[in-house]
């Protein structure tokens, strides 16, 4: 996306200068204003051009986040939270400059309550750090967006990934957050009860708010027991439609599938080439089943029957960990495999999500659109949830191609919305999808804006994201 499509935020030079002076004096080496660090904090794994902040504070405790927010509030300067920078819609960019608050040093696991199947972590803990920590407990945190994102960042974008079909998204797995609000106060949104009817659901309000209402400093998360047994495998289909119909039947029959991922023909070619594998080069489903020994076998056999009914198969599955790991490594490397289809290229990634009854139509129309548009764009998707990614691979120096790609992405988003779906299943709105949010939810966006205005009247929290302030 060219920068002209991005919401502009005016710079407050006087305020920024004042804040830089205060933070430099107060935090010394932990406040950095060097170009490399600033650019790295405004440079994301996205096609949206980087917009560097004016300085980066490496916070170590919540009180420092409060301090930074209060100083910025006093001077009307933007504050942008930063976890690992793996978000995909320009969330960490600083369109009006300001201070990036880097939470990566707030990486302590504060408590594991094994009996209650929950834990409390600082926002900078990444999902693999947490799972490494949990290794000896028999518990794990299932949500896996691919990147080793920070849990605070994952909450902020309402992330999900490959096994949301069974375990839910951050929406279902965050029990409470502690957050520094725009006035600098630290709140906790809920106690540790599994359910509550105590007032407005501030937890769910902050989850998915992309840092625009406050900075999450710690989170309490649901944990799950590591399954006794896991099986998984790959199943080819002759068409995307047949694969989607098998997905619908699997979900409808109540098979508690842990992962059910679609990769289309171009995606499979990319994976075979990149990972030196010999999977069938047509649409394939990658599956994983969790449960008891008896259950995972039953699930795999049930799916094999379903696949057969829709002309797919053979479904080759295994309980052997090394073989499963190879399979999921290939799936997780789909991003890099896709990128390798266009060396030196850039990726406009998308993440529409539709009701599964419309999934087959949506993918079929999208594949036709890709062909008509003359774009190189493999498809991978978390199809159990109706969510799929088109990776549009472009030459960043080719303005015409960029324009063509953006037009395609626009049609894709509107197509999903017209099918009663969403323009974003898991990446968030950020800078890139603001116009589509309005298409999707119409007047509801005005109430989001009212909430933003009420909680952040100065508009200092991650400005230029989700919606424009004025509508």
Which parts of 89-128 interact with its own copies (CB under 8 A)? 113-118
Q: Which of residues 354-383 bind its own copies (CB under 8 A)?
A: 354-357
Q: Closest CB to its own copies among 18 and 448?
A: 448
Mark the segment that binds its own copies (CB under 8 A) among 8-16, 268-276, 339-347, 416-424: 416-424
CA-nearest of 252, 324, 320 to 287 is 324
Mark the segment that binds its own copies (CB under 8 A) among 231-239, 257-265, 269-277, 445-453: 445-453
**Binding residue (CB under 8 A) for its own copies from 298, 308, 333, 365:** 298
8 Å CB contact between 58 and 30 = yes
Rounded to whole angstroms, the Cα distance separating 151 from 155 reads 6
Which residue has 């929950």 as its token pair? Answer: 118
> Is residue 137 a contact point for its own copies (CB under 8 A)?
no
The SS3 assignment for 20 reads helix
CA distances from 230 to 110, 174, 304, 348 (A): 30, 25, 16, 34
Number of H helices, E strands in the chain: 17, 18
> Is residue 225 a contact point for its own copies (CB under 8 A)?
yes
Q: Which of residues 340-359 bind its own copies (CB under 8 A)?
A: 351, 353-357
Mark the segment that binds its own copies (CB under 8 A) among 22-30, 318-326, 395-403, 415-423: 415-423
CA-nearest of 159, 92, 354 to 248 is 354
Mark the segment that binds its own copies (CB under 8 A) among 20-28, 185-193, 235-243, 328-336: 185-193
Mark the segment that binds its own copies (CB under 8 A) among 17-25, 52-60, 199-207, 368-376: 199-207
8 Å CB contact between 224 and 343 = no
> CB 434 → its own copies: shortest distance, Å?
9
Q: Closest CB to its own copies among 201 and 305?
A: 201
Q: Closest CB to its own copies among 147 and 159?
A: 159
> Is residue 192 a contact point for its own copies (CB under 8 A)?
yes
Tokens encoding 121: 């972590």
| Interacting residues of 112 by C-beta distance below 8 A, sequence separation 6+ | 119, 133, 134, 137, 139, 223
> CB 338 → its own copies: shortest distance, Å?
21
The SS3 assignment for 192 reads coil
CA dihedral of residues 457, 461, 462, 467 (deg, nearest 10): -30
> Is residue 33 a contact point for its own copies (CB under 8 A)?
no
> CB 108 → its own copies: shortest distance, Å?
19
> CB 184 → its own copies: shortest distance, Å?
11
**Binding residue (CB under 8 A) for its own copies from 423, 431, 460, 462:** 423
- Helix (H) or strand (E) holding 45, with range, is none
Q: Closest CB to its own copies among 130 and 455?
A: 455
Give me the 230-269 binding string for its own copies, x by CB under 8 A, dash otherwise.
Answer: ------------------x--xxxx---------------
DSSP string covering 140-204: E-----SS--BHHHHHHTT---TTHHHH--HHHHEEEEEEE-TTS-EEE---S-S---SSS-HHH
Mark the segment that binds its own copies (CB under 8 A) among 29-37, 97-105, 194-202, 319-327: 194-202
> CB 110 → its own copies: shortest distance, Å?
13
**Binding residue (CB under 8 A) for its own copies from 39, 45, 196, 325:** 196
Rounded to whole angstroms, the Cα distance separating 149 from 72 reads 26
**Binding residue (CB under 8 A) for its own copies from 122, 144, 367, 426:** 426
**Binding residue (CB under 8 A) for its own copies from 136, 454, 470, 471:** 454
> What does DSSP assign to residue 78?
-
**Binding residue (CB under 8 A) for its own copies from 227, 280, 313, 319:** 227
> CB 355 → its own copies: shortest distance, Å?
4
| Interacting residues of 384 by C-beta distance below 8 A, sequence separation 6+ | 164, 165, 247, 250, 251, 257, 259, 260, 356
Q: Closest CB to its own copies among 236 and 421?
A: 421
Tokens encoding 229: 């047994």
Give me the 154-173 binding string for its own copies, x by CB under 8 A, dash otherwise.
Answer: ---xxxx---x---xx-xx-
CA distances from 121 to 54, 126, 129, 193, 403 (A): 28, 10, 10, 17, 42
Beta strands (DSSP E) in 294-337 are 316-318
């Amino acid at each position: 996306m060219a920068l002209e499509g991005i919401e502009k935020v005016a710079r407050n030079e006087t305020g920024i200068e004042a804040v830089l002076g205060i933070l430099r004096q107060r935090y010394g080496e932990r406040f950095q204003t060097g170009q490399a660090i600033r650019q790295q904090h405004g440079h994301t794994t996205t096609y949206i051009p980087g917009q560097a902040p004016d300085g980066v504070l490496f916070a170590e405790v919540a009180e420092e986040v409060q301090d930074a927010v209060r100083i910025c509030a006093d001077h009307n300067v933007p504050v942008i939270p930063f976890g690992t920078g793996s978000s995909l819609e320009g969330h960490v960019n600083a369109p009006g400059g300001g201070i990036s608050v880097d939470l990566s040093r707030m990486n302590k696991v504060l408590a594991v309550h094994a009996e209650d199947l929950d834990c409390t972590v600082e926002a900078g803990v990444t999902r693999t750090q947490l799972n490494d920590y949990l290794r000896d407990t028999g518990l794990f945190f299932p949500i896996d967006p691919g990147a080793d994102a920070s849990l605070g960042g994952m909450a902020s974008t309402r992330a999900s990934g490959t096994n949301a079909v069974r375990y839910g998204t951050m929406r279902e797995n965050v029990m409470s957050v502690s957050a520094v609000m725009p006035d600098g106060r630290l709140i906790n949104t809920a106690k540790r009860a599994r359910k509550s009817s105590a007032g407005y659901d501030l937890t769910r309000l902050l989850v998915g708010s992309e840092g625009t209402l406050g900075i999450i400093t710690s989170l309490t998360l649901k944990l799950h027991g590591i399954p006794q047994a896991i099986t998984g495998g790959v199943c080819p289909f002759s068409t995307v439609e047949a694969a989607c119909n098998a997905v619908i039947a699997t979900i409808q029959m109540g098979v508690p599938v842990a992962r059910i991922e679609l990769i289309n023909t171009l995606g499979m070619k990319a994976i075979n080439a990149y990972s030196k594998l010999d999977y069938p080069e047509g649409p394939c489903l990658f599956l994983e089943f969790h449960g008891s020994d008896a259950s995972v076998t039953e699930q795999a056999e049930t799916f094999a029957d379903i696949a057969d009914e829709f002309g797919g198969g053979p479904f080759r599955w295994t309980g052997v960990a090394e073989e499963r790991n190879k399979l999921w490594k290939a799936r997780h490397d789909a991003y890099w495999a896709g990128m390798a289809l266009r060396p030196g290229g850039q990726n406009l990634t998308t993440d529409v999500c539709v009701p599964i009854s419309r999934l087959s139509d949506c993918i079929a129309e999208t594949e036709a659109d890709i062909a008509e548009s003359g774009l190189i764009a493999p498809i991978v998707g978390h199809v159990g949830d109706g969510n799929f990614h088109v990776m549009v691979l472009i030459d960043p120096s080719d303005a015409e191609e960029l324009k063509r790609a953006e037009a395609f992405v626009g049609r894709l988003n509107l197509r999903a919305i017209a099918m009663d779906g969403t323009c974003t299943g898991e990446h968030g709105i950020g800078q890139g999808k603001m116009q589509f949010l309005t298409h999707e939810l119409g007047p509801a966006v005005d109430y989001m804006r009212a909430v933003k205005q009420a909680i952040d009247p100065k508009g200092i929290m991650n400005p230029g994201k989700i919606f424009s302030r004025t509508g």
